[in-house]
Structure 1
Amino acid sequence: MNKGLVLSTVIAVALGLTACNQKAETANTAKTDVAAEPNVHVVEQQYLKVVDDYFKDYLKLEPLYATFFGVNDYNADFGGDLTDTYLQASHQLNSDYLAKVQLIDRKQLSPQLQLSYDMFVYDRKIALQGEAFPGRLMPISQFYSTVITMVQLGSGESAQPFKTVTDYENWHSRVKGFVTWMALAQQRMNEGMFAKVVLPKVLVERIIPQLDAQLVNAPEDSIFFAPIKQFPDTFSDADRTKITAEYRSMIADELLPAFKSLRDYFNNTYLPAARNSSGFWNLPNGKAWYQYLANYHTTTTMPVEQIHQIGLQEVARIRQEMDKVRQQVGFQGDLKAFFASLSSEPQYFFNTPDELINGYAAVKQRINAVLPKYFHVMPKADYVIKPVEAFRQQSAAGASYEAPAVDGSRPGIFYINTYNLKAQPKWGMTTLSLHEASPGHHFQISIKQELTGVPEFQRFGSYTAFEEGWALYSEYLGIEMGVFSDPYQYFGKLSDEMLRAMRLVVDTGMHAKGWTREQAIQYMKDNSPMAESDIIAEVERYMAIPGQALSYKVGQLKILELRHKAEVALGDKFDLKAFHDQMLTSGSLPLAVMEDKINHWIATQQKA
């Protein structure tokens, strides 16, 4: 969903983290005595009003996000994130609320609200910085786009509700906005061609089949017709007949022509103008743009070169650990031969998609059985396991997670890509489940949504470095939880960690050092047992959303660093469950804000 949308032993790595652009004062300040300072309560109420007003205004500007957040007031609206009006409104929203919140005395807020304040200021500043770069000129990619989001919503199996006649009418109205957006996207890409800000050719070649999949022969064959096939039982025959006719017309007369126009545009106009390079380095101001994206996704100010070097160090370390496993299981060949064996021999793979999905259901049960030993706070919501939809299988990641409905009406979804069963080895299942489901993304995101007593923006805000860092930390935690039942499952953990380490090298290599797509693919082949189809999808993902892949390992290393710091400082007082509570009960945090929180907790525990 973020626009621009996922562990090793403790390593003391100098990550060079800085706080939000305005360095937050440490949250070590003891909570102010409200009786002694009667104005404190007033100041806190002022702060809460500012951020709540912001969130309401934000949802008006971003109606699609509102639907995913469980706010149904804008379900008929599409929004217009490519219009000049939107861009100006977005700027005004961030600049106005930054000015408003900076009038509030942070020192008079409680420690918890100081964290919230720091998050809010960080968000506004990083958004305003991003206005310097023309992301609007590349509004669609094969990995994430409004097109993919709208197809998922239109399937009736995502956040868009289809429970009442009004719900069906709302969706029809939203589709009209989507049709307008598809035309405007072409205009923005025309501007991009003029400015030499265009996608790589190979990504355009991936987008065209995704659009082709929507060009069905009859409305009834469209995924957008799916809600008609699942009318609620309460609908009258007259309502069913009327809505069915309207949806047939909507698909035939509005959606299909718009999809065809967009598909033809990509094939006939945009593809010939697409670039041959893989990275941002040769776009106008591309290196500065990429450094911004690296900062944005990692919530740090680390130079790109430093991130590249950390990646090289981690790849070397993990290769050594992998070779230990090779020796442990008695494999006679070298590590490259071990990779080839694990990625090709039939005993390491399921034969059907159903077997794969059922296998993950068994892993879920095994992990769930030990979670109470490591967590006080656990999500109320459950999650289900589903295959990735057919239309996006070829370009989708091997797995992903979608948050549950905020009102509890829909569980979280752990998506498994069943397109290529050879890309889903049995030895990788435990670590992937830990990352995407419990206690990884499902815990962190669900608990965040279920928080009470925090501002709404904090419940729904997202920082990739925190969320993906936590998920990767969850893989590391699996060792302590005892769920890696044999050396092969542990190798799966190392393999997934190797992926996150290689990302630091490959992402920075393509976008800052001029690496080609082929160089990146070869590097990943040389250092992991991943299936080639997975490697290609990964590399093309980094091409589409630069910097996002850096956040996993950077976030994980910071969490491990802070845990190690707490263990050393507290000794016998250290409580792992309590540490996990601290990590999960303030929502997603910029890494520097997270560090302030843990430092404050350590100090409090020492005094206790």
Structure 2
Amino acid sequence: MCFVMLIGCTNDNKQTKFQTLLDNEWQRGLDENPIYASYMGDKRANQDWPDISETAVRDRQNKVRDILQQIKSIDPKFLPESQQLNYRLFLYNYERAVSAQKFDTHLLVFGQRGGIQLEHETTEGLTFQTEQDYEDWLVRLTKLPALISANIELANIAIEQGITAPKILMERVARQIKLQLKEDPKTSPFYNIFDSIPGSIDAKFKLDIQQRAQTVIMDEVIPAYEVLDKFFTTVYLPAARESYGISDLPNGREWYEQLARWHTTTDLSPDEIHEIGLSEVARIRNEMENIIEALNWQGTFDEFLQFLRTDPQFYFETPEELLQEYLATSKRIDPKITRLFKVLPRTPYGIRSIPKESAPDTTTAYYMRPSADGSRAGYYYVNLYRPEVRPKYEIEVLSVHEAVPGHHLQ
């Protein structure tokens, strides 16, 4: 009897320890990344940016290593079946995180798909429903120069260690930085959120915060981007590498192998993954040729591809037409999902166009998940830049991947 009670107490202690560890790590993630916390609906640090300094990064890495040891100290056999999968995933993710610490990914500061040069796009994931939400964002903008300086400090360390991005991509970043250099603050991308304050917000407050926003943007934000522009064009861009692959960086080949494992969640080598890719290309090519034959196409395979890429019937002329087709396609897909899935998310999703500042340099589409508290929907972002190169026939497959039953159901 006592032995049974002892086992029961041991099990309870292990379960409590594991759950506490999960809860504490979730909270640490929110505390260390105020932007992520805001995205999740936690607004306790809604006026702050994350600390990206080298010291803070190393401190977080030490904490992750410590947490991994704590995870390993828990024997999963004492956990209930409902927690077994959580344990394996938790352990797997922290083992991956620790193994990735060897490669200083945080020193690849700049990227053409997002980053400090496009920081105004942070508002895409925030909720603006109250006067305080706008006040919080304005305070965050006053702290943006410090965040820009922190990025420059990391970039200097990166140059010293030879960890820089390809010049061909950094030339795009240079263009994006210059989009922030405005003479009129009302034309700044950072002013967009203040220019679209809804009628539900008090009119007097709206006028007041718009005036204050113009002052902050003109006196603090734009000068900070002028500093970044000078650094980037005179220091970082000249130091950017002419090569493309990550294998040219320190420990680059090993880094590439680690990334292959990370993104495929397998232990396959890059060569093995490449062989799978070649076999898939051959399979898809065979299916395409069968379709071409069924259509009685009289030309070659390459000519058929050229036909798909250039014939006007496959493209819209305007961004508005392209967006309407994305909307219509999603509406056709939505009701069919109930036939395939028993449990569906309560939180809806919407469709937005990718911001014009990043649209020329990013993917055709991507997804932003909803906030944890349900205050913000998920969003399926579509690229409307140059509709003449975005074929109609890719809309359906993109929609089922990016929205439902793709990322929105994840």
- Name the TM tier (shorter chain): over 0.9
Matched, 1:60 2:26: no
Q: Structure 1 residue 37: deviation in Å? A: 4.0
In the alignment, which residue of structure 2 is the partner of 1:47?
18
Contact 2:315/2:387, CA 8 A, preserved across alignment: yes
| Overall identity of the aligned pairs, in % | 31
1:46 to 1:251, Cα distance in 2 relative to 1, 3 A = same
In the alignment, which residue of structure 2 is the partner of 1:116?
86
In the alignment, which residue of structure 1 is the partner of 2:396?
430
Q: How does the TM-score come out when normalised to structure 1? A: 0.64
- Report the secondary structure of 2:361's partner residue: coil
User: What's the RMSD between the two structures over aligned residues?
Assistant: 2.2
Distance in 1 separating the partners of 2:367 and 2:389: 18
Distance in 1 separating the partners of 2:256 and 2:342: 39
- Report the secondary structure of 2:352's partner residue: strand
Distance in 2 separating the partners of 1:392 and 1:325: 36
Equivalent runs, 1:186-585 vs 2, <5 Å: 186-231=152-197, 233=199, 235-236=201-202, 239-444=205-410
Contact 2:191/2:214, CA 8 A, preserved across alignment: yes
CA deviation profile, 1:169-189 (whole Å, cap 9, x unmatched):
322332244321212222222
Distance in 2 separating the partners of 1:321 and 1:312: 14
1:410 to 1:286, Cα distance in 2 relative to 1, 3 A = same
Q: Structure 1 residue 319: deviation in Å? A: 0.9
Gaps of 5+ in 2: none
Matched, 1:77 2:48: yes
In the alignment, which residue of structure 2 is the partner of 1:163?
129
Gaps of 5+ in 1: 1-32, 445-608
In the alignment, which residue of structure 2 is the partner of 1:100?
70
1:429 to 1:162, Cα distance in 2 relative to 1, 3 A = closer
Q: Which amino acid aligns with 1:308?
A: H
Q: Which amino acid aligns with 2:93?
A: D
Q: Structure 1 residue 233: deviation in Å? A: 4.5
Matched, 1:91 2:57: no
1:143 to 1:233, Cα distance in 2 relative to 1, 3 A = closer
1:136 to 94, 98, 106: 106
Distance in 2 separating the partners of 1:224 and 1:169: 14
Q: Using CA pairs below 8 Å that are at least 6 residues apart, which structure has the higher relative contact order? A: 1
2:121 to 149, 152, 155: 152
Contact 2:46/2:136, CA 8 A, preserved across alignment: yes
- Report the secondary structure of 1:391's partner residue: coil
Distance in 1 separating the partners of 2:58 and 2:5: 40
Distance in 2 separating the partners of 1:234 and 1:332: 61
Most deviating of 138-147 and 386-395: 138-147
Contact 2:40/2:370, CA 8 A, preserved across alignment: no
CA deviation profile, 1:143-170 (whole Å, cap 9, x unmatched):
232443x31124xxx2323333332332
Q: How does the TM-score come out when normalised to structure 2? A: 0.93
Most deviating of 422-431 and 391-400: 422-431
Q: Structure 1 residue 38: deviation in Å? A: 5.4
Q: Which amino acid aligns with 1:408?
A: G
Distance in 2 separating the partners of 1:274 and 1:129: 26
Q: Structure 1 residue 327: deviation in Å? A: 0.9
Q: Which amino acid aligns with 1:67?
A: S
Distance in 1 separating the partners of 2:273 and 2:376: 38
- Report the secondary structure of 1:142's partner residue: coil
In the alignment, which residue of structure 2 is the partner of 1:503?
none
Distance in 2 separating the partners of 1:80 and 1:249: 25
Distance in 2 separating the partners of 1:36 and 1:182: 54
Distance in 1 separating the partners of 2:120 and 2:269: 37
1:235 to 1:320, Cα distance in 2 relative to 1, 3 A = closer
